[in-house]
């Protein structure tokens, strides 16, 4: 690469992020739909224990295991992949130089927080309000939100 | 959903005000759970972080997980609901058969007590099943535990949001599909966005060049851009040696003669009385040499 100081530098383009939502990452990484692209063992209890630290997926090792295994080891390797939440050993990113496929997954605010967690939270809140007969109070307060810059006023209640 | 995150804590606090003694702890936990989740999401949207907000984020997440059990009974999926209903139906039939067998031994009061007891038993079984099956184990809940470590290693989460790409769906795909004839729409969608994008870029380029005075817009009829250097009519005539009158000028540059006349008459009317005025007759104007207009 020619630089401004009239020197030619050797550059390496390194893939650092692959922005996608979970279903796409699951397909690209060859993991189960309930598995995390970063963590091993999380498929059994995703989100169940927030304080537990899991091992990071070692996709390079999976690739080596998938490509160079002996025929007698097939059952053992399949069991190993199932245990760590991987469907196939040969990850599409595992062959790239200087790339750790586990680092390519990035948290996505739109799909993670807004489209899923907030949606779930609203369902929980609706159920909670229904149980305690506070729906009407919530809708009244919701409809009383005054206009404010960059805040659109809700046109109808939550329920 | 953005507005929801901004206002739900306050609205929920308003809705859950004045609890009685039995509701107090439940309401407090529910409010704490919702507000910590909202705080976590708002803090995750920071464009830059210092160590303190990351510690706050982890604390919010821990508090949310500590208080979220209040909502466990509302995490029931359709499958669990169906299973609970099926088990309840089976138990009701079994109890009804038992009651029918023992009916001739029991008095009416005893049968009523038995029915109430069976109803209570079915309700308890339903609650046990729901509480046993419900959980918060889904992958998006797990992802939240990676947010703080991700910021430490790779920077702000906002940089990797899919929001911009998702918004592009509307302009690049949905509008293209709407403007197509719905028959083999893929190619039409691609060409429509390409066409729109190319035209947009072209207009921006022309606008930028007009500002710098590099080009002059021709065939506008209504506009004569004033730029530095030689006058606009001179540049328009450059290279055209056989232009003598205004009508020939319009013909060479493919300008509508009537548009040109309209502009000329407007200009003549605005000219001050002491300046040398041009004739107001269009026929006379058309025969004047073009040098009179420089």
Most confident of B56-65, B237-246, B265-274: B56-65
pLDDT value of residue B260 = 76
Query: Is residue B15 classed exposed, middle or buried when 0-12, 13-18 and 19+ CB atoms within 10 A define those classes?
Result: buried
Are B232 and B294 in contact by the 8 Å Cβ rule? The answer is: no
pLDDT value of residue B242 = 62
Mean pLDDT of B28-56: 92
pTM: 0.67
The answer to whether A134 contacts B16, with C-beta atoms less than 8 Å apart, is: yes
pLDDT at residue B50 tops 50: yes
What's the pLDDT tens digit per position in B175-201? 889 989 998 888 898 888 888 888 888
Q: Which helix (H) or strand (E) holds A138?
A: helix A135-143
Spans in chain A with pLDDT lower than 70: 41-51, 155-159
How many residue pairs bridge chain A and chain B with CB atoms within 8 Å of each other?
153
Q: What is the DSSP letter of B174?
A: I
CA distance to partner chain B, nearest, from residue A56 (Å): 12
Interface of B with A in 19-58 (CB under 8 A): 23, 26-27, 30, 34, 37, 41, 44-45
What's the pLDDT tens digit per position in B78-127? 777 788 888 888 888 888 888 777 766 777 788 788 888 888 888 888 77
pLDDT value of residue B240 = 52
Token reading at B127? 């609650």
pLDDT value of residue A44 = 65
The answer to whether B137 contacts A112, with C-beta atoms less than 8 Å apart, is: no
Res. B14 pLDDT band, cuts 50 70 90: very high
Token reading at A9? 């530098």
Higher pLDDT, residue B290 or B22: B22
pLDDT value of residue B290 = 65
The phi and psi torsions of A32 (rounded to 5 degrees) equal -70, 160
Mean pLDDT of B139-166: 87
Query: Domain spans of chain A?
Result: 22-106, 107-159
What's the pLDDT tens digit per position in A115-147? 888 889 999 999 999 999 999 999 899 888 888
Partners of residue B17 in chain A, C-beta under 8 Å:
137
What's the pLDDT tens digit per position in B210-243? 887 766 655 554 444 444 444 444 455 455 556 6
The answer to whether B7 contacts A151, with C-beta atoms less than 8 Å apart, is: yes
Higher pLDDT, residue B119 or B294: B119
pLDDT at residue B29 tops 70: yes
CA distance to partner chain B, nearest, from residue A100 (Å): 13
Q: Is B1 on the interface with A (CB under 8 A)?
A: yes
Mean pLDDT of B248-272: 74
Interface of A with B in 49-108 (CB under 8 A): 50-51, 103, 106-108
Exposure pattern of B21-30 as b/e (b: 16+ CB <10 Å)?
Answer: eeeeeebebb
pLDDT value of residue B223 = 47
Of A19, A124, A154, nearest to B71 by CB-CB distance is A124
Of A46, A125, A142, nearest to B34 by CB-CB distance is A125
- Those residues with Cβ within 8 angstroms of residue A46's Cβ, 6 or more apart along the chain or in another chain: A34, A35, A36, B137, B138, B139, B141, B142
């Amino acid at each position: 690469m020619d630089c401004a100081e009239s020197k030619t530098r050797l550059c390496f383009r390194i893939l650092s992020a692959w922005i996608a939502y979970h279903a796409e990452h699951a397909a690209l990484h060859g993991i189960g739909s309930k598995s995390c692209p970063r963590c091993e063992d999380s498929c059994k209890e995703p989100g169940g224990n927030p304080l537990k630290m899991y091992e990071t997926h070692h996709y390079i090792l999976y690739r080596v295991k998938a490509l160079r295994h002996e025929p007698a080891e097939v059952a053992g390797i399949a069991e190993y992949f199932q245990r760590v939440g991987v469907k196939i050993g040969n990850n599409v990113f595992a062959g790239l130089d200087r790339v750790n496929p586990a680092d390519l997954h990035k948290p996505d605010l739109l799909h993670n927080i807004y489209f899923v967690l907030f949606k779930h939270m609203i369902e929980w809140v609706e159920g909670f309000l229904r149980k305690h007969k506070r729906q009407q109070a919530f809708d009244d307060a919701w409809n009383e939100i005054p206009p404010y810059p960059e805040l659109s006023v809700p046109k109808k209640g939550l329920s | 959903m953005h507005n929801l995150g901004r206002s739900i804590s306050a609205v929920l606090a308003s809705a859950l005000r004045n609890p009685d003694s039995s509701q107090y702890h439940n309401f407090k936990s529910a409010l704490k759970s919702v507000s910590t989740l909202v705080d976590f999401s708002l803090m995750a949207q920071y464009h830059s972080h210092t160590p303190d907000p990351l510690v706050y984020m982890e604390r919010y997440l821990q508090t949310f997980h500590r208080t979220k059990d209040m909502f466990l009974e509302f995490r029931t999926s359709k499958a669990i609901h169906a299973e609970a209903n099926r088990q309840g139906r089976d138990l009701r039939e079994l109890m009804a058969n038992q009651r029918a067998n023992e009916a001739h031994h029991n008095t009416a009061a005893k049968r009523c007590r038995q029915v109430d007891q069976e109803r209570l038993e079915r309700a308890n079984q339903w609650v046990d099943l729901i509480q046993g099956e419900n959980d918060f184990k889904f992958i998006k809940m797990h992802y939240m535990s990676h947010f703080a470590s991700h910021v430490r290693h790779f920077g702000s989460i906002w940089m990797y949001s899919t929001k911009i790409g998702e918004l592009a769906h509307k302009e690049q795909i949905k509008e293209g599909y709407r403007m197509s004839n719905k028959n083999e729409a893929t190619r039409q969608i691609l060409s429509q966005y390409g066409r729109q994008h190319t035209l947009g870029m072209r207009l921006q380029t022309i606008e930028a060049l007009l500002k710098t005075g590099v080009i002059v817009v021709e065939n506008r009829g209504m506009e004569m851009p004033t730029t530095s250097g030689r006058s606009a009519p001179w540049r328009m005539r450059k290279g055209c040696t056989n232009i003598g009158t205004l009508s020939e000028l319009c013909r060479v540059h493919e300008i509508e003669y009537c548009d040109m006349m309209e502009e000329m008459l407007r200009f003549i009317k605005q000219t001050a009385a002491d300046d040398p005025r041009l004739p107001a007759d269009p026929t006379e104007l058309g025969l004047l040499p073009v040098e009179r207009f420089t």
